Amino acid sequence: MDTPEFDPDCQVKGTAFTKKNYRDVYPAVDPTRPELSQDGKVVIITGASRGLGQMGFAVSFARANAAAIVLLGRSSEGLAKTESLVKEINPATKVLSISVDVTDEAGMNKAFETAVEKLGVPHVLVNNAGALVKLDTIVNTDVESWWKTQEINVKGTFIATKAFLKHTGDTPSEPTTIINLISMAAQGIPPGMSSYSPAKLAVSKFTQFLAMEHPTITSVNLDPGVAATDMGHGVPYLAPFIGDTPELSGGTAVWLATGDKSFLSGKYVSVCWNVEELESRRRK
């Protein structure tokens, strides 16, 4: 009996909301398009020392000609690498790297104050910092690692967002965007993710509250798909499905930070979905 051919895109197709779907950058989300220019904008990215923060968001906003990019992360060495990449791509973009733990409220508040003092009020926040501390069953997972996953993903997003809103105000005079990284794990019951899955579900709900409380700020849940990051490679059963590029996440984030995307505020968006089709259905 022949073994059915495995389709590495089955997860993308199974969660598709649009007719066309992508796993890499395509013209509509190409950050070098003049229509997606971030000229004049200050962008803050958490978890910027590696993975999506580095190769996706920082790189893409640099290509989109952001006026300034603030890189927040724990690894000074990783931040230096990200800063070097940004400067290589776009020497005109100002870069400020600050080593800080996203769960450190005092440290994060100071980091945002420093950013505003040196670069001005930010326009975009990408809450990218996240972690899956341990992949295991509930019985075998220790309380500390289970709760650490919650703290990094939920508490970290909360702290960064509060610090951001402190400087933008409730009704910012310029277009302002908050992008919260979530995961398709929030929609299912993936083995070993009893902490990570609920954490991303909590972030998703948190984004809905942001949209309700701050209607003039566009707050979106962004699912990066299954990307080739340390976290992605850390889940063995996801290996056959890895294929969504960090650049796709970065380009989609740039698109979300451009023009009026308020119709997506409080909602879930997968980087795999065709943004042109989303735009065409905005009235629905």
- pLDDT of 1 reads 45
Query: Which of 196, 205, 261, 284 does the annotation list as catalytic?
Result: 196
Q: How many domains does the chain have?
A: 1
CA distance 115 to 98: 9
pLDDT tens digits for range 68-117: 999 999 999 999 999 999 999 999 999 999 999 999 999 999 999 999 99
Q: Are strands 218-223 and 124-127 parallel, antiparallel or unpaired?
A: unpaired
Which residue ranges in the chain fall short of pLDDT 70?
Answer: 1-6, 233
Residue 226 lies in a domain: yes
List 41, 134, 200, 261, catalytic entry = 200
Question: Does 167 reside within a domain?
Answer: yes
Instruction: Please give the span between the terminal C-alpha atoms of the chain, in angstroms, as a whole number.
Output: 46
Q: Is 200 designated active site?
A: yes
- What is the rounded distance in angstroms from the CA atom of residue 182 to the CA atom of residue 88? 29
> What is the per-residue pLDDT for 4?
52
Structural domain containing residue 27: 10-40+116-278
| Residue 73 located in a structural domain | no
CATH number (domain holding residue 226): 3.40.50.720
Distance, CA of 141 to CA of 8 (rounded, Å): 30
In a domain, 156, yes or no: yes
Report the pLDDT value the prediction gives residue 11, as an integer from 0 to 100.
72
Position 61 in a domain: no
Neighbours of 240 (CB within 10 A): 13
In a domain, 127, yes or no: yes
Is 196 part of the annotated catalytic residue set? yes
* Per-residue pLDDT at 9: 77
Asked if the structure places residue 111 within a domain, the reply is no
- Reference 23, options 269, 230, 226, 280; nearest CA is 226
pLDDT tens for 104-124 read 999 999 999 999 999 999 999
Is 124 within a domain? yes
